[in-house]
Amino acid sequence: MQRSAVVVVADKTSLKRPFIFVNSVHMALCFFMLTMAIAWHRDPIQTGKIVSSVSVMAMLSVIGVIGACRGKRWCLILYASGMAIASQTIIVRTALSYQDVYEKRVAREEAKLLSMMPLSGISKANRTLLYRIQEEFECCGLIEGYKDWGASIPASCNCQYPGKCIRLRGSATLGAPKNQYVYQEPCLPIYVSELKRAFSLVMAIQFGSGVFWMVLLVMSIKLIGQIRRKQEFLALLQSNRYVPGAF
């Protein structure tokens, strides 16, 4: 009975395969984020920061997998140290900066749209941007709907959904076809609402990443303990202090 108990303790590295699997998934996510960062971010400085951070996390996972496969505790200790720093940093930073960054970014985007008023004198670049917003969010104008465009309502305001449309009867607006249907809702409140939702999602993903890294940290610490116990048992066998079959 004692012999069986010792063998079970020595061979118990039950976290090895789950640890390797979870870190493999983490590496795949890191490579996906790298691809998205390079493909979609236009700011070289911001892209460089993202690539650098994600590359470090991917490298930590590689080190962790090597440590788990080969039973190298120093690899897992290095992995655990990196995960501890990364998880604590992102959780604290997200919690402390959420409100400030949230309010500043939303206020900046809102002020950017309001600076386009009146729309009759809007620049070409801003006109293209607003056309895209109107088509994507199915709205028209910024504050008072189609009235913001004055005498010239763009085609991006044209509406084909009865629940979202308003009909311009006769010549209520110069340049508008008779009985034209346009989106009723202005874009500013809709765009700001979607911006808040997207920003909250990004912050939630960051916080969730920190929690996920904490889980990996705990798994690595437990795996280090399991590997240490196995190595101690093997050392015990080699020192002839324990002889198989003695019990």
pLDDT at 165: 84
Nearest to 182 by CA among 147, 206, 231, 220: 147
Taking the CA of residue 172 as centre, how many other CA atoms within 13 Å lie in the half-sphere pointing to its CB?
Answer: 14
Distance from the first to the final alpha carbon of the chain = 8
pLDDT at 15: 79
The helix/strand/coil state of 116 is coil
pLDDT for 181 beyond 70: yes
The helix/strand/coil state of 47 is helix
Cα distance between residue 98 and residue 218, in whole Å: 26
For the chain, what is the mean pLDDT? 78
pLDDT at 50: 66
Q: List the beta bridge partners of residue 166.
A: 182
pLDDT for 209 beyond 80: yes
pTM: 0.65
Which of 2-16, 34-48, 212-226 has the lowest average pLDDT? Answer: 2-16
Q: List, for residues 74-90, the tens digit of each pLDDT value.
A: 888 998 898 888 888 88
Which DSSP string corresponds to 16-32?
A: HHHHHHHHHHHHHHHHH
Which DSSP string corresponds to 98-115?
A: HHHHHHHHHHHHHHHHHT
User: Could you give all domains of the chain from N- to C-terminal order, each with its CATH number?
Assistant: 2-98+207-238 (no CATH), 113-189 (1.10.1450)
Q: What is the CA 34 to chain-centroid distance, rounded?
A: 12
Neighbours of 178 (CB within 10 A): 10
